[in-house]
Amino acid sequence: MPSPLDTTKSAAVFAAAQNLMPGGVSSPVRAFKSVGGAPVVFDRVQGAYAWDIDGNQYVDYVGSWGPAICGHAHPQVIAVLSTALAKGTSFGAPSVLENTLAEMVIEAVPSVEMVRFVNSGTEACMSVLRLMRAFTGREKIIKFSGCYHGHADMFLVQAGSGVATLGLPDSPGVPKSTTIQTLTAPFNNLEAVAALFDQYPDQIAGVILEPVVGNAGFIVPDQEFLSGLRQLTKVQGALLVFDEVMTGFRIAYGGAQAKFGVTPDLTTLGKVIGGGLPVGAYGGRREIMEWVAPAGPVYQAGTLSGNPLAMTAGIATLEILRQPGTYEYLETITQSLIQGLLTLAEHHGHALWGGSISGMFGFFFQPGPVHSYEEAKHSDLDKFRRFHRGMLEAGVYLAPSQFEAGFTSLAHTQADVQQTLAAADQVLANL
């Protein structure tokens, strides 16, 4: 095994953080609870790399959980941000920048004819849910087990394996009354969704899903599942919502809906469109979006929404992404990584199932196939934990959970991938 890194300073800062912030972090997964051991504390990020405060360098496959698709601190993004900064940090008034980013999103994402900017993916999803309910006059929604749509009450529902599990809150503090209208079904199971529509005729406002799941590991949809959902929701007078907070501008410039050729009614976005600053968005058909205040009666607002720095970073990021060859590069680099890992695992006698689309990938320590969260849960979590720690020690920063997708960027090179695979070879040999 590689020799342990010196992480003395990280350990001290994280120990202090635990007295200052719950669990020592601003967002739970960062605390490494599911893989054990202390997290490393970042000092700076650049390109494909992150450095901790002890000076250790890592090849970073988390990319701030998705936004860093051009590579961290891309010079073009930093340059326009510096100029924008001199004009002020927040306007709280209309700006040309909002028009520009809105036009870029509308042009790129097939379902989006109008868009509203917010500050996070959570906000985008909770707002879209209000809009779905208002537009249809129905209250129930269907989500899929293992899909994450932010931390709003209505989405925090036990991801039970049973079909038609009536929403039991996943967290204390979430009233049963807010999740009672949330129905769940297993991903890639169209029959389960059809059964829910049969069980609750004219009561379901719509279906929301991660079109490619990244919050239960990496799970690819069957084409028939997505097409079937499109048809079923149409027949039932319900809305189809793609939560593309993770997949938007990541697996294709037009997101999963462009990649799979299935156009939902509404779409949520986040991560990439903010270029590393806090942004979310929701958009869709004009006749639905015109229900949003002040054009329509559905209230939703935000002091910092459309923030000029965030809009600037988003515009610069999309300008880089829309250059020819971008997604082909991401596809090639990510496939080298995941195919290399699968080959090494087989060589060392470990069952590993994995895949990638463009700059998004995942792998499970199990033979697979994995079509749903229910199947993902059969993975060997202890093996993942030991693999994760070994890779970290070898200078590779992977998402600290078996149930999170990984990300590459335009800054990752074949040399980075080869370095990663050399580390994996060692770690897998000793698992």
Ligand X SMILES: Cc1ncc(COP(=O)(O)O)c(C=O)c1O
Nearer to ligand X, 274 or 390 (CB): 274
Cα angle value 179/240/270 (rounded, 5°): 80
Strand-pairing partners, residue 46, are: 49
Number of residues that bind ligand X (CB under 6 A): 16
Q: Which of 72, 138, 149, 350 binds ligand X (CB under 6 A)?
A: 149
- Minimum distance between the CB of residue 119 and ligand X, rounded to whole angstroms? 8
Q: Which of 71, 150, 217, 254 binds ligand X (CB under 6 A)?
A: 150
Q: For the range 173-181, what are the long-range contacts, defined as Cβ-Cβ under 8 Å and sequence gap of 24 or more?
A: 178/153, 178/154, 179/153, 179/154, 181/139, 181/140, 181/141, 181/154
DSSP string over 179-212 = HTTEEEE-TT-HHHHHHHHHHSTTTEEEEEE-SS
Query: Applying CB under 6 A, does 404 fall inside the site for ligand X?
Result: no
**C-alpha to C-alpha distance for 112 and 90, rounded to whole angstroms:** 26
Query: Applying CB under 6 A, does 215 fall inside the site for ligand X?
Result: yes
Q: Is 220 helix (H, G, I), strand (E, B) or coil?
A: coil
From the CB of residue 275, how many other CB atoms can be counted at a distance below 10 Å? 30
- Minimum distance between the CB of residue 215 and ligand X, rounded to whole angstroms? 5
Nearer to ligand X, 276 or 390 (CB): 276
By CB under 6 A, the residues from 312 to 341 that bind ligand X are none
Q: Whose structure tokens read 């199947």?
A: 375
Nearer to ligand X, 124 or 370 (CB): 124
Residue with the shortest CB distance to ligand X: 121
Nearer to ligand X, 39 or 121 (CB): 121
Nearer to ligand X, 150 or 283 (CB): 150
- Minimum distance between the CB of residue 271 and ligand X, rounded to whole angstroms? 7
- Minimum distance between the CB of residue 180 and ligand X, rounded to whole angstroms? 22
> φ, ψ for residue 103 (rounded to 5)?
-60, -40
Nearer to ligand X, 29 or 421 (CB): 29
Q: CB under 6 A: which stretch of 55-63, 89-97, 210-218, 326-334 binds ligand X?
A: 210-218
- Minimum distance between the CB of residue 207 and ligand X, rounded to whole angstroms? 14
**C-alpha to C-alpha distance for 100 and 182, rounded to whole angstroms:** 36
- Minimum distance between the CB of residue 210 and ligand X, rounded to whole angstroms? 5
Greatest Cα pair distance, the chain, in angstroms, is 61
DSSP string over 24-42 = GSSSGGGG-TTT-SPPPPE
Residues 6+ positions from 295 with CB-CB distance below 8 Å: 289
Query: Applying CB under 6 A, does 250 fall inside the site for ligand X?
Result: no
By CB under 6 A, the residues from 255 to 274 that bind ligand X are 270
Q: CB under 6 A: which stretch of 44-52, 146-154, 196-204, 417-425 binds ligand X?
A: 146-154
By CB under 6 A, the residues from 50 to 89 that bind ligand X are 65
What is the set of active-site residues? 148, 243, 271
Tell me the per-residue interface mask from 112 to 131 with ligand X, x by CB under 6 A, - otherwise: --------xxx--x------
- Minimum distance between the CB of residue 146 and ligand X, rounded to whole angstroms? 11
In total, the chain counts a number of residues equal to 431
Q: Which of 60, 210, 375, 416 binds ligand X (CB under 6 A)?
A: 210
Q: Which of 45, 114, 220, 246 binds ligand X (CB under 6 A)?
A: 246
- Which CA distances in Å does 169 have to 177, 199, 368? 9, 21, 29
Residues 6+ positions from 133 with CB-CB distance below 8 Å: 139, 141, 205
> φ, ψ for residue 277 (rounded to 5)?
-105, 160
151: its two tokens: 């931390």
Judged by the rule CB under 6 A, the positions of this chain that interact with ligand X are: 65, 120-122, 125, 148-150, 210, 214-215, 243, 245-246, 270, 280
